[in-house]
Structure 1
């Protein structure tokens, strides 16, 4: 496995590993995101076994020991499996997550006490960068789920939302909704419930200009339109599930 690095917005880097054995023949990407600033932040740690490759990729951009914040969409191996490895190499780093994730998982599993983030709470990274945590419980899955908005660039790091197969470009202006619908048809990974559409439309109200997908290419363009279309598809799925 080798991690590639691409700048998807000003000072925001996608660190991506492609695994062809998952979801063959298309394969599957695992993406982490580095936000530079006076206090650099890593969103997603990657699987524990991927740590050497992701660390090498990050080191091409900034020294790993400079990391100050480590966060992720929800508590799951590909989102945070290497959390403690990163805490070990970055002595000043803190894990940060929503209230539920800290209480049910991170207070015990993180090697250092995590910072609890309230819905809408921000962290100032310095250098004109600020990130805002948004709770999205059970969306697309995990009751501790949330997303992160980098406000200066309008980049929404949206975790498992828009998950798709394949090893596409690092950044696309094309369709990310159709491939996400196809992947959901295949994996059935989302927790269908009536609040999905309203919660995703709340994210659309942020009018993001870039979407950072954990699995798939990042998207540059009308993020609000993409989120509205994804919400519409989840509404359809919920109606079908309710009969």
Structure 2
């Protein structure tokens, strides 16, 4: 498959990488927060990662990739992780305990940072906070991520849209997005209600989606 990845500086120092797959009418996004300790959010599939790496290196311009955040174990979230680590061996994956166990089954176990909901990772210019994510298909415990200083919420598959959506930002309503989380996304009604209650406590300025247009408030 010939993958084309488009890059844009979509919000402050956040860079978006997008690839559109016409047969399923879906755009896949990865993000680089170009902070003091750069962090990549998701890798894409192996094919997407191969197209991503040259652009990632160009933007980093010799800087070290510090972290790779993986919200849950699925091909577009971490399918190219081994390839990213080959090119950036000093980078450390960040994920939940369940995701770490899944990655270890594919030989990725070194220097993985396991985070729990409510924990934070703080550098000189960002504050990452981790949120429980009962991710589909099997409600494996994953993580959602918010960067508190900039107000960027990385929604993974919770805020979802079809179509081609590179460098697309629309006005959003946070409560509407939370209320719109479906049983197909989180099938357990109790877990879904708890997640919605947790998200309602947040006040993001920008939602960096895994698929579809990003949102600003």
TM-score range, shorter chain: 0.7 to 0.9
Give unmatched runs, 5+ long, in structure 2: none
TM superposition score normalised by structure 2: 0.86
Q: 2:152 aligns with which of 147, 150, 155?
A: 155
RMSD across aligned positions (CA) = 2.5
TM superposition score normalised by structure 1: 0.77
Paired residues, what number?
A: 210
Partner residue, 2:104: 107
1:62-89 deviation line (CA, Å, top 9, x unaligned): 1476111011210011110011111111
Give unmatched runs, 5+ long, in structure 1: 222-243
Instruction: Name the one with the larger strand percent.
Output: 2
Q: Are residues 105 and 83 of structure 1, via their aligned partners in 2, closer, same or farther at CA, if it must alter by over 3 Å?
A: same
Superposition pairs for residues 1-243 of structure 1, below 5 Å? 1-22=3-24, 27-63=25-61, 66-102=64-100, 104-109=101-106, 110=108, 112-126=110-124, 128-138=125-135, 142-168=139-165, 170-174=167-171, 189-194=184-189, 195-221=191-217
Determine if contact 2:172/2:216 at 8 Å carries over to the other structure: no
Runs (4+) of structure 1 exceeding 6 A deviation are none
Determine if contact 2:6/2:166 at 8 Å carries over to the other structure: no
Instruction: Name the one with the larger helix percent.
Output: 1
Q: Are residues 140 and 202 of structure 1, via their aligned partners in 2, closer, same or farther at CA, if it must alter by over 3 Å?
A: farther
Determine if contact 1:106/1:114 at 8 Å carries over to the other structure: no
Q: Are residues 166 and 108 of structure 1, via their aligned partners in 2, closer, same or farther at CA, if it must alter by over 3 Å?
A: same
Stretch of structure 1 that moved more, 128-137 or 68-77: 128-137
